[in-house]
Amino acid sequence: MNKIAASELVLNPDGSVYHLNLRPENVAETILFVGDQDRVPKVARHFDSIEFETQKREFRTITGVYKGKRISVISTGIGPDNIDIVMNELDALFNIDLEQRTIKEKLTALTIVRIGTSGSLQADIPVDHFVLADYGLGMDGMLWSYDCKNVIHHELSDAFVAHTGWMSEKAKPYFVQNSSELADKLAGGDKVHRGITATAGGFFGPQGRVLRLAVQDPELNHKMDNFNYKGHRVTNLEMETSAIYGLAKLMGHHACSMNCIIANRANKTFSKDYNAGVEELIVYTLNKLAQ
């Protein structure tokens, strides 16, 4: 079996993966992703016990037990590029023999749930409610670095390109579905809405914000608001979901994204206490995973 070169899978002197600073025994098979490193202890304070904690750069990890279930919470930082690092290093921890540098014969499927904050594009999804993403819409181009054609919903992608008049010089948008099995577990409740979560490759221009620089398509956000394909509509916009979905599908993991809506662009409203909404989403998600 071919060995993976040291330049391709970089390890620290203690054998941990380079960016996450983790060894296989440090991580649970059920993992919560948060963007902000300061949100990691806010999740972990609900654990009944904590067994491990580490941090390197923006990647902070705490592993513990919640209602009898072993769970890790990891901060990914911002953007699809960081997700590429986190997903690949997590997969390596479980599915590559780090000492032999060979892929294991028996692969482990992880359960990954992103808990994030987002802005709603639709008037009927109010602040302090949650969006469970049935699909991730990637406008960042990251996934095209991989052989990904078999995991992309091409009908949705083509319909979105036609609807928006997508500029051909930009990376083609891609749609990837969540894990339906995991989504069924997380669904339920009056506050949980379903839809498409759009993922941008940046915070300013890629999301239509204008400071000193003009954007390529000033109407893109409006076009996204109005996109509807066979009942599928874009509900919210952030910077991680499609990358998680795409890499999870390629690697054989189960992934879902849950976002607390802290702003509604259609209604021009902002949450009066978004920290309370995020806290409610954390507890909701933990309880669903522990069932």
pLDDT tens digit string along 23-69? 999 999 999 999 999 999 999 999 999 999 999 999 999 999 999 99
User: Is 114 in contact with 197 (CB distance < 8 Å)?
Assistant: no
pLDDT in tens, 109-143: 999 999 999 989 898 999 999 999 999 999 999 99
Domains, the chain:
24-290 (3.40.50.1580)
Task: Sort residue 175 into left (φ over 0), alpha (ψ -120 to 50) or beta.
Answer: beta
pLDDT at 211 over 90: yes
Whether pTM > 0.85 for this model: the answer is yes
Mean pLDDT within 213-226: 95
Tokens 């009066």 belong to residue = 272
End-to-end CA distance of the chain: 40
Measured N-to-C along each axis, helices 241-251 and 80-95 cross at an angle, to the nearest 10 degrees, of 30
Q: Decide the pairing of beta strands 130-138 and 102-103.
A: unpaired
In 79-226, DSSP assigns E strands to 96-97, 102-103, 111-120, 130-138, 174-177, 192-199
Work out the pLDDT band at 187, boundaries 50, 70, 90: very high
